[in-house]
């Protein structure tokens, strides 16, 4: 059993994580929130108290932390007696926080791959550039590190593993489809940190085709999908974290990621990119100021967290998997639909933050309880997905499957989980 | 007779002005070029020597000057014994340079209205906010100040005056039409300083309708015109300097300015404006830098001067004037067509700089010679336009008129001007 959570980050996903930890503090113990900006942590804590989210009275504390500072992070882990760190800060922090966890023997979770501010779209597999170099160090220290356990990456990895185990004898292709059919009502905004958001689209879009990496241009390949609830949805082949581990771990020859974009989004993005305003490299103004254009774009765009109150509509994210079962062709879409307004009412963040934050807390609960506390570094598809999916069904992210047989909720182990107020999560009854 | 020119500015228009002054230094005397960046002045001087533009051997010197510094400007005027200042620097400098001229008894010319960096699109008439407040001071000092003597404002004001005097008994409307049918081959660029360029379009577009100011939104009113050479040209009602003096001086009930824009230009402009990237007001980045977004946009866009070598096509700018003559309706388009490549070959700048710079030098020659040295502040339409138009015909900007009677060159006084190598410009023979 592991107890006490240190959440690193103060944005929309951290807010979801903190609320969900609070809703499950009988299992998770003390909850600590650390960010460079202390006020953000306090705002989250106020929101948890306002909504009465704590499952039972318990510790809920804010801390100022520069998580690039490994020693400071280690000190805070020890001072708070945290046994699980949920890192939902900037992806630039991953390696620092992971190091602090390895050196203190603390379990580590994140929801997005490590990034170097100086580099964009590195060579695949991306995990090989940073995280996987620490696999042996995790094993030596018996540290559990679950990489990329948000929705995508994260749940979509578990979906792939679950579907392959359940519905297929062999799989030919996995198309991960991420569609936001919601509206924030603003001229233009990104749904998370614009700096991170745009970095996904400014360079090569890697896909895994016929068991090899293929370099595509962003917005080169368009595909329209008939998605549940969202309807006909236009998406573009996009580079994304999960392809970089699933291609190694699943033995599937074709894995692609498709993200939904409106024409308006693409137009604004194209203008900014072509003008050089998405550049990471500083320019010099006529007045002699050195400035990174992308940081200015970020400064003028709406704060993603500010969009949540007015956000309406739903997200639909899932895996369309094609292969064979019992000698016959089989096609399955395994997916979740999440509502922006419902998410906001529950935790004060929209569905994109909600879908990223809930899985990390479900994973933390499985580590706390022991099932996923495997003492090494893994990506989500390497873990048994059944309890994870079952737990999320009860935490607000319901999994459905659409196939030739119809469309229905998936509940892999209906009997094993019970609500608990005494710190006992699972009931293997 | 006035002699010796101080050119203030180091951009594309300053380059044209310097070349044209050099081509006429028998009349104009010594030529001095001053800019904050001395290297820009040296580059212009090198270009004049490369092209052998000096009419006869004479002084051609570069100076470093911050023209916001009135005392430094006065010192340079006196040190160079300049009797005419051609101000083609930033419009933010106008009032400082004008003050230096008044206090040293020097003739003053500019090509664009004064602007305050803190204000955009002030109340009409714009000249009333700054320049006209110094009319009495000019009169007292017997200082000639010709405001806005580029192409538009400038030549289009003279065109209006000339056409009214020549082709009309009464005029109902003047539509000034500015179309650039050229191409620079880049994704997006402005033809002059982006900071000044965009300021024209970010706020109210004032027009003069039925003898009153009318406030329009930018891109609210579109009109397609059949223009000589350029063909069918899409334009939008735009606020512009010349309306603010012509409405006062000409007694014409309707005066509008139309600028040509491509859909691509409007799209890029709209994205930048809606995102807040054209703002004059500084924003704070996540790293704590205070920065004016518009200055960053300027920094990433191509330097307008860099476009000239690849620029192809032509500009067409003129006045479409409607009224009555001898009791009958009359419609006249008085215009100039200028070629980007020819301009570049002659002076190293494209047609937009060329059309702005040549008129200022023609005006300087008329001041040097005495005809326009009227010892007070005026806008161009207050001066006799005939010699001005005749002189420009010989300097590279040919005036044409299109009416029901056909399309022909206008040469108001074919006999009065002769080429001169002895400092004698006009031959009233």
Query: Which class in CATH covers the domain with range A155-342?
Result: alpha beta
Integer Cα distance of A30 and A45 in angstroms:
13
Interchain CB distance below 8 Å, A188 and B275: yes
| A103-117, A217-231, A343-357, B406-420: segment of lowest average pLDDT | B406-420
When the candidates are 2.60.120.10, 3.40.30.10, 1.10.3720.10, 3.40.50.720, the CATH number that belongs to A5-149+345-397 is 3.40.50.720
| Predicted local confidence at residue B414, as pLDDT | 64
Residues of B in contact with A297 (CB under 8 A): 275, 277
Q: CA–CA distance from A207 to each of A164, A261, A265 (Å)?
A: 20, 18, 22
Asked if B281 has any chain A CB less than 8 Å from its own CB, the reply is no
Give the mean model confidence (pLDDT) for residues A152-172.
Answer: 98
Q: Which of A267, A286, A289 sits opposite B291 (nearest CB)?
A: A289
Say if the Cβ atoms of B296 and A283 lie within 8 Å: yes
Q: What is the pLDDT of residues A11-70, one digit of tens each?
A: 999 999 999 999 999 999 999 999 999 999 999 999 999 999 999 999 999 999 999 999
Domain boundaries, chain A: 5-149+345-397, 155-342
Does A242 score more than 90 pLDDT?
yes
- The predicted complex's ipTM stands at 0.76
Q: Is the predicted pLDDT of residue A219 greater than 70, yes or no?
A: yes
Chain A residues in contact with B276 (beta carbon < 8 A): 300
Is the pLDDT at A214 greater than 70? The verdict is yes
Cross-chain Cβ contact A286/B275 below 8 Å? no
Give me B265's structure tokens.
């230009």
Is the predicted pLDDT of residue A418 greater than 80, yes or no? no
Half-sphere exposure of A154 (CA within 13 A, CB side): 29
Whether chain A has a CB inside 8 Å of the CB on B301: the answer is yes
The pLDDT, as a whole number, for residue A416 is 60
Residues of chain A above pLDDT 70, percent: 96
Give the pLDDT score at B196.
80
For residue range A112-130, list pLDDT tens digits in order: 999 988 777 688 999 999 9
| For residues A131-146, average pLDDT | 98
Q: Do B277 and A283 touch (CB under 8 A)?
A: no
CA distance A356 to A392: 12
B295 and A284 within 8 Å at the Cβ level: the answer is no
pLDDT, greater one: A415 or A75: A75
Residues 387-406 of A with CB under 8 A from B: none
Choose among B187, B285, B296: nearest Cβ to A285.
B296
HSE-up of residue A163 (Cα within 13 Å, Cβ side): 33
Q: What is the mean pLDDT of each run of 10 residues along chain B (429 residues)?
A: 94 96 97 97 97 96 98 98 97 96 98 87 90 98 98 98 98 97 93 81 90 94 96 95 98 97 93 94 94 95 89 97 97 98 95 97 96 97 96 95 95 65 51
Find, among A262, A264, A296, A292, the residue nearest to B276 by Cα.
A296
A188 touches chain B (CB under 8 A): yes
Q: Do residue B299 and residue A277 have CB atoms under 8 angstroms apart? A: no
Q: What is the reported pLDDT for A428?
A: 41
Mean pLDDT of all residues in chain A?
94
Comparing CB atoms, the residue among A275, A287, A289 nearest residue B188 is A275
Q: Is the confidence at residue A137, as pLDDT, over 90?
A: yes
Q: Is B66 on the interface with A (CB under 8 A)?
A: no
Residue A117, chain B, CB below 8 Å: the answer is: no
What's residue B424's pLDDT?
58
Q: What's the CA gap between B257 and B249, in Å, rounded?
A: 16
Coil, strand or helix at A308: helix
Q: Percentage of residues in chain A with pLDDT exceeding 90?
A: 87
B277/A297 touch (CB, cutoff 8 Å), yes or no: yes
- The Cα of A267 is separated from the nearest Cα of chain B by a number of Å equal to 8
Cα angle, residue B111 at apex, residues B109 and B113 outer, rounded to 5° = 100
Per CATH, is B5-150+348-399 categorized as 3.40.50.720? yes
CB atoms under 10 Å from CB of A118, counted, come to: 7
Q: B293 in contact with A at a CB cutoff of 8 Å?
A: yes
pLDDT at B428: 41
Crossing angle of helices B38-50 and B12-23, in 10° steps, is 40
In this predicted structure, the answer to whether residue A230 has a pLDDT above a threshold of 70 is yes
In b/e form, how buried is each residue of A262-284, taking b as 16+ CB within 10 angstroms?
eeebbbbbbbbbebbbbbbeebe
Closest chain A C-alpha to B187 CA, distance in angstroms: 7
Does residue B271 contact residue A271 with C-beta atoms inside 8 Å? yes
pLDDT at residue A423 in the model: 52
Nearest CA in chain B to A279: B300
Please write the tens of the pLDDT for every residue from B242-273. Answer: 999 999 999 999 999 999 999 999 999 999 99
Identify all chain B residues contacting A277, using CB atoms and an 8 Å cutoff: 277, 296-297, 300
Decide if A284 touches B, using CB distance below 8 A: yes
CA-closest candidate to residue A82, choices A144, A1, A5, A27: A5
Q: Which B-chain residues 237-276 have CB contacts (< 8 A) with chain A?
A: 267-268, 271-272, 274-276
| CA gap A282, B67 in Å, rounded | 29
pLDDT of B117 reads: 80
Task: Give the 3-state secondary structure of residue A330.
Answer: strand
Inter-residue contact B335 to B179 (CB < 8 Å)? no
Q: How far is CA B329 from CA B167, B176, B406, in A?
A: 11, 19, 16
CB pairs < 8 Å spanning A and B = 86
Nearest to A283 among B283, B286, B300 (CB): B300
- The verdict on whether omega for the bond into residue B153 sits within 30 degrees of 0, i.e. cis, is yes
């Amino acid at each position: 059993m592991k107890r006490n959570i240190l959440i690193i980050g103060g944005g929309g996903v951290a807010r979801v994580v903190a609320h969900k930890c609070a809703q499950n503090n009988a299992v998770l113990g003390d909850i600590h929130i650390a960010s460079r900006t202390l006020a953000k942590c306090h705002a989250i804590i106020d929101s948890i108290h306002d909504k009465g989210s704590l499952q039972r009275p318990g510790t809920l504390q804010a801390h100022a932390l520069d998580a690039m500072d490994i020693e400071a992070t280690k000190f805070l882990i020890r001072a708070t007696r945290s046994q699980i760190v949920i890192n939902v800060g900037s992806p630039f922090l991953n390696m620092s926080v992971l190091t602090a966890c390895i050196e203190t023997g603390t379990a580590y979770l994140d929801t997005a791959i490590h990034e170097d501010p100086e580099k964009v779209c590195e060579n695949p597999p991306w995990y090989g550039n940073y995280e996987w170099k620490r696999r042996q160090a995790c094993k030596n220290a018996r540290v559990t590190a679950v990489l990329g356990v948000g929705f995508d990456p994260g749940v979509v990895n578990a979906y792939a593993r679950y579907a392959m185990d359940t519905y297929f004898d062999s799989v030919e292709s996995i198309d991960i489809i991420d569609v936001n059919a919601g509206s924030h009502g603003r001229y233009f905004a990104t749904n998370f940190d614009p700096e991170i958001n745009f970095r996904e689209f400014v360079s090569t879009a890697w896909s895994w085709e016929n068991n090899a990496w293929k370099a595509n241009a962003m917005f080169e390949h368009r595909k329209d999908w008939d998605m549940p609830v969202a309807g006909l949805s236009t998406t573009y082949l996009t580079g994304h974290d999960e392809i970089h581990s699933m291609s190694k771990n699943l033995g599937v020859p074709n894995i692609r990621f498709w993200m939904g974009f409106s024409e308006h989004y693409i137009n604004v993005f194209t203008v900014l990119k072509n003008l050089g305003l998405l550049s990471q490299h500083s320019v010099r103004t006529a007045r002699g100021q050195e400035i990174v254009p992308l940081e200015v774009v970020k400064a003028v765009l709406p704060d993603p967290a500010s969009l949540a109150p007015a956000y309406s509509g739903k997200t639909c994210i899932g895996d369309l998997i094609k292969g064979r079962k019992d000698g016959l062709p089989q096609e399955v879409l395994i997916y979740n639909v999440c509502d922006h307004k419902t998410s906001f009412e529950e935790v004060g963040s929209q569905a994109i933050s909600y879908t990223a934050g809930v899985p990390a807390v479900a994973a933390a609960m499985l580590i706390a309880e022991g099932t996923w506390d495997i003492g090494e570094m893994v990506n989500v598809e390497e873990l048994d997905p059944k309890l994870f999916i079952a737990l999320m069904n009860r935490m607000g992210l319901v999994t459905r499957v659409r196939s030739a047989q119809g469309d229905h909720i998936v509940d892999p182990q209906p009997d094993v989980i019970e609500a608990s107020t005494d710190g006992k999560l699972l009931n293997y009854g």
